[in-house]
Structure 1
Amino acid sequence: MKTERQAQRRQQIEAAAYEVLAEKGYKAASMLAIAKKASASNETLYNWYGNKQTLFRSMVAENARQARQLLNSFEENHDDPLEAVRQLGPVLLRVVTGEKAVALNRAAVGDVHETGQLGPTIAEAGKRTIAPMLAEVFGRARAEGLLDYDDREDVAQVYISLLIGDLQIERAIGVRSVLDDAEISERSQRAWRLFLKLYATDNSGR
């Protein structure tokens, strides 16, 4: 029970950290400001996280965990690996361009001249989650004769580039607002069509 309560409290603290980050920016997002927003003690935050950088790294890890769960759920619920990726595309695009991901990317920029640790943490989290799992799904598609390519890691990166492109950067620097459902659907479908033109075999039936 204690562990469950602590997990819920951590979620509340990290939600408060996102709010403070949006309101104040990374440099002004102090542990004290986050503690006040979460109605928690400053001592609790330091006991659990140690410092602000560790808190935000924990938030990155949680985002990566959620992305991994999404990939797993789509793969488990579809016998056809390509259909799993096709349906995952809009969901993945919404996650990586959403407010939480944008807030963390902006925080990483703000941390460049402090510790310089948050950016590499975000990059590493992405490498460990989305790309490798997509590569595994595309590997299964090739084994079933649905795709033709040489390197599955390269193919995963191509799909990510087609789907996301510069959107994360554009969102982080404020030149793009949150994508609406129509934009997400259109971009996802376009990325999928281009991807199939590059790699789909006649056996794919697409």
Structure 2
Amino acid sequence: MGAAIRDRSMEVKLSAAIKLGDEELTQRQQDVLDIALSLLVEVGDKLTMTGVARRARCSKESLYKWFGDRDGLLTAIVQWQAAKVRPVPLGPQRMSIEALQANLERFAYDWLKVIAGDISVALNRLAITHAGPLSNLGHTVLTNGRFAVGKRLKPLLKAGRGAGLLRFDDEEEAFRTFFGLVLRDVQVRLLLGDEFELSDQDVIRDAKRATEQFLKLYGA
């Protein structure tokens, strides 16, 4: 299972993962967001439209046209980062326990890789710094991060319940349990500056363990 997770992780396609208005991101816009993500890790709260334009070698006018103001750019950054947690494809056929476990492991792998990365740590630190009534960045990170990820996982949980493989009354509660089993204390430790790294093998192991624990709790 671990090798399968690792192989699939190389096939991520994000070109249509998020949209700007009604338009899908162009390759150039994707490249700019990747550059903005890297710059955010370097400068944190000092991220500016001018700095992104300079690093990406594009005009500020283009940035404003694509993303609006700095808050719009940050929103697109959050969405682009969250898009790395891939939605689970659900076919019309009845789900097997093997398919359910494999999909949960893949989802957990993606999620943990994203959360444990430097970019997510920088984003979350920035959001915490600016949380409050005078800033909407915290709300943006919640809406386009944690809540968006929840919407991608819940259809799988419902499909598992419909196939008689999972048993729960509240899908939000089930999702939050999975959330806790996958992340454990990893995010808190990273936000507080604990310098540790998860290797790919660590992430595969933790994704598998979280899935097994979840199935023991909610397996029918």
Q: Identify the residue that residue 204 of structure 1 maps to in structure 2.
A: none
TM-score (norm 1): 0.80
Structure ID, larger Rg: 1
TM-score (norm 2): 0.76
Structure 2 residue runs of 5 or longer lacking an equivalent are 1-22
Cα distance 1:176–1:198, how it changes in 2: closer, same or farther (>3 A)? farther
1:108 equivalent to 2:127? Answer yes
Q: Percent identity?
A: 28
Q: Identify the residue that residue 53 of structure 1 maps to in structure 2.
A: 71
Aligned-residue CA RMSD in angstroms?
A: 2.8
SS class of match (1:19): helix
- Take 1:160 and 1:83, find their aligned partners in 2: how far apart are those partners? 17
Residues 32-41 or 166-175, more deviating: 166-175
SS class of match (2:83): helix
Structure 1 residue runs of 5 or longer lacking an equivalent are 202-206
- 2:198 pairs with one of 167, 179, 184: 179
Q: Identify the residue that residue 150 of structure 2 maps to in structure 1.
A: 131
- 2:173 pairs with one of 154, 159, 174: 154
1:31 is displaced (CA, Å) by 1.3
TM-superposition CA deviations, 1:43-98 (whole Å, max 9, x none): 3223332321210111112233342xx1234x459753333213332222112222
- 1:72 pairs with one of 88, 104, 112: 88
Matches within 5 A, 1:1-150: 7-26=26-45, 28-67=46-85, 70-73=86-89, 75=90, 80-112=99-131, 115-150=134-169
- Take 1:43 and 1:87, find their aligned partners in 2: how far apart are those partners? 39
Q: Which amino acid aligns with 1:55?
A: L
Q: Which amino acid aligns with 1:174?
A: G
- Take 2:143 and 2:108, find their aligned partners in 1: how far apart are those partners? 21
Cα distance 1:52–1:150, how it changes in 2: closer, same or farther (>3 A)? same
1:176 is displaced (CA, Å) by 4.0
Cα distance 1:40–1:110, how it changes in 2: closer, same or farther (>3 A)? farther
Query: Aligned pair count?
Result: 195
Q: Identify the residue that residue 10 of structure 2 maps to in structure 1.
A: none
- Take 1:138 and 1:11, find their aligned partners in 2: how far apart are those partners? 31
Greater percentage in helix: 1
Cα distance 1:83–1:49, how it changes in 2: closer, same or farther (>3 A)? closer
Q: Which amino acid aligns with 1:37?
A: R
1:33 is displaced (CA, Å) by 1.2
1:128 is displaced (CA, Å) by 4.0
- Do 1:18 and 1:103's aligned partners in 2 also have CA atoms closer than 8 Å? no
- Do 1:82 and 1:138's aligned partners in 2 also have CA atoms closer than 8 Å? no
- Do 1:136 and 1:152's aligned partners in 2 also have CA atoms closer than 8 Å? no
TM-superposition CA deviations, 1:88-116 (whole Å, max 9, x none): 32222112222332232122134337952
SS class of match (1:149): coil
